[in-house]
Amino acid sequence: MNSSKFLAGRGRERLTPEELILLEDSGSDVQAVEARRTLVRRGEPVCSSMLVIDGFVCRAATDNQMVSLHIPGDFVDLDGFKLKRLDHDVVAIGPVKVTTYSHDALAILSERSRLTEAFWLSSLLDAAIHRAWIFRIGRLEGEARAAHLFCELHARLEMVGLAEDGSFGLPLTQLDLGAALSLTAVHTNRVLRALREQGLLTFRNRQVEIHDRKALAKLGNFDAAYLYASDLNAPSGRPLDG
Amino acid sequence: MNSSKFLAGRGRERLTPEELILLEDSGSDVQAVEARRTLVRRGEPVCSSMLVIDGFVCRAATDNQMVSLHIPGDFVDLDGFKLKRLDHDVVAIGPVKVTTYSHDALAILSERSRLTEAFWLSSLLDAAIHRAWIFRIGRLEGEARAAHLFCELHARLEMVGLAEDGSFGLPLTQLDLGAALSLTAVHTNRVLRALREQGLLTFRNRQVEIHDRKALAKLGNFDAAYLYASDLNAPSGRPLDG
DNA sequence: CGCGCGCTTGATCAGCATCAATTCGCGTGG
DNA sequence: CCACGCGAATTGATGCTGATCAAGCGCGCG
């Protein structure tokens, strides 16, 4: 598995080919991580950050509240580069592949290129997604809450080519899903059944099939604007030709 | 009111005096904003960002869910500098004073200094606070939720010298508080009464008095680590003497 | 084959929303 | 000066959403 495919995620389309090469050369080889492994524990000093290449990685706060869910192309703990420790655990959900970037390497990269801005942008997108999670948990109830999360995941996965026809792999248990939705596993199960019975989506065998994308978005009050997809793919403020 | 007092908030202690001067010179004069004014509406193109000098500013998502609450020293919509529009409204809660920074000025600043990193750091702190809000709303119930929020506000205000002896001004109505806590105004009222009757805190006339800080933190499961206060005030990675 | 984990379903209970009404504080105009 | 109006605070009554407790099922794996 080559990491370069995902280097261009999260607005890094704006980078020049030279910058992308610089970025790729600074990362480690791809490393495999087994499912359920805790990659970073909260509070521990960290000296490197990870780019997800394959699989799903989550960030978990106190009482196992999931606060973030990362897909291939996401840097998981760029926070650690600037803050030197994390305020949450980082856990692989299924089997995962990552590349790591030592903070020393990132520091050198920052000196030599506009990559600092790319990283900042990535952090801003994380923050925007966090805000959507606050809204989801704070204002939507059961079915709508799940619908909103599935819409988000679909949109994000589609941006990196990992969703097709409303269908994508999602190696979460219903307990994991509950941790993200802030619902018990029991209630998550009932919510999934309700969505299935309404013909909106099925989630079985680690595979999501969205049957009615429009209705799902409506139920979940989902507006993808906060993912800034079009902006990121649009030509940047940088002059087009040099 | 001079803005320089708050330029050093949010980890900007790390900046050199020259950088601080550069920053101060790039901002507008202090502008007064009346209470309840919407400063930026979601989706609108933005071409400047704001630093809060006095008062409270919040960010509100769909259905009036508050997703963020900003105090003097916070940049409210630095997001807009990189993303060019916001995924939420920005609203003054009480009467507020701000200085604005045009994105052109910020771009020039970025070129000339390490300010990009300071801004990035500020965004990372916002994200960390967002995560704490997800935990609070997702895992804590009524009283604990309110306790956690009051602890956060106290800690943040103390960092910029706006809280003393567990007491600080907070110009929110109970409805506003409910929007932040994701509770109805009615239930917010009952929760406040419960906290008062337990001798933990009183909130009256826009003034918070924390009577038992330790017990409040315990009830709210509050650990201030996510605010990175000590890290920000500690000497930075930058060489101490030049 | 049996154990464990995840999924599923039923029954009961608690936290909070909702609806409704009253009171309080305060600025405004008669 | 007082009546009025309006937003905010407060309190009561009722109902819904989702937690909790409990039990059974399916399936992969040692």
Whether residue A231 and residue B83 make contact (CB cut-off 8 A), yes or no, is yes
- Mean pLDDT confidence for B21-46: 90
Q: Is the pLDDT of residue B179 over 80?
A: yes
Show residues of chain B in contact with A133, CB under 8 Å: 130, 134
- Mean pLDDT confidence for B120-138: 97
Whether residue A123 and residue B119 make contact (CB cut-off 8 A), yes or no, is no
Asked if B81 is an interface residue toward chain A (Cβ–Cβ < 8 A), one would say no
Tell the residue number behind the tokens 């996401």, with chain if given: A74
Cα separation, B201 vs B192, in Å, equals 8
- pLDDT tens for A86-121 read 999 999 999 999 999 999 999 998 887 788 888 999
pLDDT at B234: 55
Q: What is the pTM of this model?
A: 0.94
User: CA A212 from chain center: how many Å?
Assistant: 23
Q: Strand D: which nucleotides have any atom within 7 A of a protein Cβ? A: 7-13, 17-22
- Which residues make up the interface with nucleic strand D when CB must lie under 7 A? A 141-143, 145, 182-184, 186-187, 191; B 173-175, 185-186, 189-190, 192-193, 204
- Mean pLDDT confidence for A162-175: 95
- Supply the mean pLDDT for chain A: 90
Asked if B132 is an interface residue toward chain A (Cβ–Cβ < 8 A), one would say yes
Write phi, then psi, for A238 (nearest 5 degrees): -65, 140
- pLDDT tens for B144-153 read 999 999 999 9
> A21-30, A48-57, B25-34, B99-108: lowest mean pLDDT where?
A21-30
Q: Which of A123, A182, A226 sits opposite B127 (nearest CB)?
A: A123
Q: Which residue has the higher pLDDT, A29 or B220?
A: B220
Whether residue B124 and residue A67 make contact (CB cut-off 8 A), yes or no, is no
pLDDT at A18: 81
Asked if A135 is an interface residue toward chain B (Cβ–Cβ < 8 A), one would say yes
> Which residue out of A88, A108, A131, A148 would a mutagenesis test of the B interface target, given it has the greatest number of B Cβ atoms within 10 Å?
A131
- Supply the mean pLDDT for chain B: 90
> A43-57, B13-27, B103-117, B190-204: lowest mean pLDDT where?
B13-27
Asked if A114 is an interface residue toward chain B (Cβ–Cβ < 8 A), one would say no
Show residues of chain A in contact with B182, CB under 8 Å: 137-139
- pLDDT tens for A193-222 read 999 999 999 999 999 999 999 999 999 999
DSSP E strands in A83-206: the ranges are: 89-92, 96-102, 167-169, 201-204
Position A233 confidence tier, pLDDT thresholds 50, 70, 90 = low
- Dihedral of the CA atoms A193, A198, A201, A206 (nearest 10)? 20
Cα separation, A206 vs A185, in Å, equals 16
pLDDT at A238: 42
Gap from B1 CA to chain A (nearest CA, Å): 30
Whether residue A134 and residue B67 make contact (CB cut-off 8 A), yes or no, is yes
Position B233 confidence tier, pLDDT thresholds 50, 70, 90 = low
pLDDT at A16: 79
- Provide, in whole angstroms, the distance separating residue B44's CA from nucleotide D7's C1': 30
Show residues of chain B in contact with A116, CB under 8 Å: 116-117, 120
SS3 B86: coil
pLDDT at B21: 82
Show residues of chain B in contact with A182, CB under 8 Å: 137-139
Q: Is the pLDDT of residue B222 over 90?
A: yes
Q: Is the pLDDT of residue A241 over 60?
A: no
pLDDT at A115: 85
- pLDDT tens for B83-119 read 999 999 999 999 999 999 999 999 998 887 788 888 9
pLDDT > 90 fraction of chain B, expressed in percent and rounded: 78
- pLDDT tens for A12-25 read 777 777 877 888 88
User: CA B111 from chain center: how many Å?
Assistant: 27
> Which residue type sits at A53?
I
Query: What's the length of chain B?
Result: 242
Q: Is the pLDDT of residue A58 over 70?
A: yes
Position B30 confidence tier, pLDDT thresholds 50, 70, 90 = very high
Asked if A134 is an interface residue toward chain B (Cβ–Cβ < 8 A), one would say yes
- pLDDT tens for A71-83 read 999 999 999 999 9
Position A3 confidence tier, pLDDT thresholds 50, 70, 90 = low
Q: Is the pLDDT of residue B23 over 90?
A: no
- Mean pLDDT confidence for A132-137: 98
Query: With a 7 Å cutoff on the CB, does B145 touch strand C?
Result: yes
Cα separation, A180 vs A173, in Å, equals 11
Show residues of chain B in contact with A79, CB under 8 Å: 124, 127-128
Write phi, then psi, for B75 (nearest 5 degrees): -80, 130
Which strand (E) or helix (H) includes residue A67? strand A66-70
DSSP string covering A87-153: SSEEEESSSEEEEEEEHHHHHHHHHHSTHHHHHHHHHHHHHHHHHHHHHHHHH--HHHHHHHHHHHH
Q: Is the pLDDT of residue A190 over 80?
A: yes
pLDDT at A230: 81
Residue B141, CA: closest nucleotide via C1'?
C15
SS3 B201: strand
- Mean pLDDT confidence for A177-204: 97
> Which residue type sits at B68?
S
